[in-house]
């Protein structure tokens, strides 16, 4: 026997708070109900559809990280270093693990900074999360521009905690608007 509607609603709220990137199909599998039931539940609970959740999470994390992120060194079109002091606001619900989107946002922000772009399209991002990050740990991100061809760049970003790599990413970016750093 599955969960009651009340239990399912509580579970949906919790699991989506932890991971806004889950699609309705994945949620239906987790709850053991149909996709249409999940859509009805989301409507009743006021939970946005997948695309809106992803957009909202990305915008919210970028804004919150910008306040705590510090750019230490920047050689435009070459390399850069930034740090982020993690805190409890960045954790998955009821865990001590920093959300992956916070780490990704740090990497993407540094990649945008090093190519002097106010706006750029991430055409491809190949990322790897190597180890968990916990509140209070300081993330140190280092970027290096690998290639520039016209308005397109390949940027590598490595993030460490206490000199141990926790994230690496390779970003293919197309500049839409150049910045004024």
Q: Which residues contact 80 (CB under 8 A, 6 or more apart)?
A: 71, 73, 74, 110, 113, 114, 142, 143
Cα→Cα distances 2→39, 42, 126, Å? 17, 18, 37
94-131 confidence digits (pLDDT tens): 899 999 999 999 999 999 999 987 788 899 999 999 99
**In this predicted structure, what is the pLDDT of residue 70?**
85
Q: Report the chain's mean pLDDT, rounded to a whole number.
A: 86
Arithmetic mean of pLDDT, 24-31: 90
pLDDT at 178: 64
Say if pTM beats, i.e. exceeds, 0.75. no
From the centroid of its chain, how far is CA 128?
A: 12
What is the per-residue pLDDT across 67-103, written as a single tens digit (0 to 9) for each?
A: 578 888 889 999 999 999 999 889 988 899 999 999 9
* Sign of the dihedral defined by the CA atoms of residues 58, 66, 171, 176, in that order: positive
Residue of 117 and 57 predicted with greater confidence: 117
Pick from 116, 162, 153: which is nearest to 170 by CA?
A: 153
Structural tokens at position 174:
């197309």
Q: What is the spatial distance between Cα 172 and Cα 145, in angstroms, rounded to a whole number?
A: 10
């Amino acid at each position: 026997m599955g969960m009651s509607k009340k239990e399912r609603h509580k579970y949906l709220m919790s699991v989506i708070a932890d991971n806004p990137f889950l699609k309705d199909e994945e949620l239906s599998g987790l709850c053991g109900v149909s996709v249409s039931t999940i859509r009805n539940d989301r409507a009743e609970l006021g939970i946005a559809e997948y695309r809106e959740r992803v957009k909202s999470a990305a915008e919210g994390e970028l804004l919150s990280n910008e306040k705590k992120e510090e750019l230490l060194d920047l050689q435009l079109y070459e390399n850069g270093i930034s740090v982020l002091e993690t805190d409890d606001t960045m954790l998955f619900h009821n865990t001590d693990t920093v959300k992956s989107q916070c780490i990704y946002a740090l990497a993407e922000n540094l990649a945008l900074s090093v190519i002097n772009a106010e706006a750029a399209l991430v055409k491809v991002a190949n990322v790897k999360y190597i180890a968990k990050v916990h509140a209070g740990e300081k993330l140190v991100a280092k970027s290096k521009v690998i290639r520039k061809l016209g308005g397109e760049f390949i940027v590598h970003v490595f993030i460490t905690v206490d000199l141990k790599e926790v994230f690496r990413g390779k970003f293919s970016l197309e500049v839409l608007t150049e910045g004024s750093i």
